[in-house]
Amino acid sequence: MERIVWLLAGFVAATVLIALIGLVAVRSTARGFAKRTDGLKQLLIASQSQANDAAPVLPDIVRSYAVKAGGREGASTVFHARHRATLQTAKGARPIDIEADQWTGILVPGIVWTARGRMSGLPVSVFDAFVEGHGELSARVLGAFQVAGGSGADYDKGELMRYLSELPVYPDAILNLRGVDWRQIDDATVSVTARSATGEATVRFYFDPSGDIVRMEADDRPMETRGTTVHIPWHGVYSRYAQFGRHRIPSYGEVGWVLPDGLFVYWRGEVISYDPGGGEP
């Protein structure tokens, strides 16, 4: 009997030790995740001093939009905004409620987005970034276990497209951004192209009769599915223009993939705060 007691005591002690080691490992990995996001924010801020190209040449319709939206030349180099949104990871999946912070470069293409939510009752943390020409995405449960993400050429292109799609919300970036090429396609459509470290990315914007941007399209944003990456059409809409200080910007947006069986809207979100002086994380 005493032998059984000692064996049980040893088993319990070993189990507790393993659990403690696992907890330490999880916390250490979570701290590494937070350190990575903080590092990306600092790199984003530093990258804005690298704007050496000439000021952009803008089609009149684009400049008029930016000025009407409150944009200024010589504005702060990094803006901070907060979002509230729902994210659907797959068709038929239950949407996840998230809140997010976003830091956006105004002189050089760059973005760092961090989000928090719960999936199956567990806390989920995500960062989405395009900094110094490279894209990166990481989604983690408990801040430690990565369930999605990566880096490389497809992420460079995808995250740069993500940045470009945000330009209607950042009219100061439209007026100040270096290294981009604007082209007017017709009276109500323009395209904007920028380069990552590994290639170009282009999105198109569509204007309504009043001069507001109401829609975005891209032909070939990379999407990861079943372990492979495919380049498919990407679509977004902008609405609920609202005043945030001197800025009049779209406060609501939806984004989706144009799949063979139709549009899959995976993101619905709103801007809940907007700080032109929010460059410091």
For the question of whether the overall pTM of this predicted structure is more than 0.85, the answer is: yes
Amino acid making up residue 47: S
Count Cα neighbours of 235 within 13 Å in the Cβ-side half-sphere. 10
Q: Which helix (H) or strand (E) holds 106?
A: none
Decide if pLDDT at 5 tops 80.
Answer: no
Contact 177, 109 (CB under 8 A): yes
Q: pLDDT-derived band of residue 30, with 50, 70 and 90 as boundaries?
A: low
Q: In this structure, what token pair is assigned to residue 148?
A: 């999605």
Q: Is 93 left (phi over 0), alpha (psi -120 to 50) or beta?
A: beta
Give me the pLDDT at residue 3, please.
Answer: 33
Decide if pLDDT at 272 tops 90.
Answer: yes
Q: In this structure, what token pair is assigned to residue 122?
A: 């567990």
Decide if pLDDT at 106 tops 50.
Answer: yes
Decide if pLDDT at 148 tops 50.
Answer: yes
Phi, psi (5° rounding) for residue 263? -80, 130
List pLDDT tens digits, range 9-25.
333 333 333 333 333 33
Phi, psi (5° rounding) for residue 123? -70, 135
Cα dist. 129→56, 69, 82, 159, 256 in Å?
23, 25, 15, 6, 19
Q: Which residue has the higher pLDDT, 133 or 31?
A: 133
Mean pLDDT of 56-64: 95
* Rounded Cα gap, residues 49 and 110, in angstroms: 12
Decide if pLDDT at 55 tops 70.
Answer: yes
* Rounded Cα gap, residues 164 and 137, in angstroms: 17
Query: For the chain, what is the mean pLDDT?
Result: 87
List pLDDT tens digits, range 196-250.
999 999 999 999 999 999 999 999 999 988 888 999 999 999 999 999 999 999 9
Contact 59, 182 (CB under 8 A): yes
Please, which residues have CB within 8 angstroms of residue 11's CB and are 6 or more apart in sequence? none
Q: pLDDT-derived band of residue 29, with 50, 70 and 90 as boundaries?
A: very low
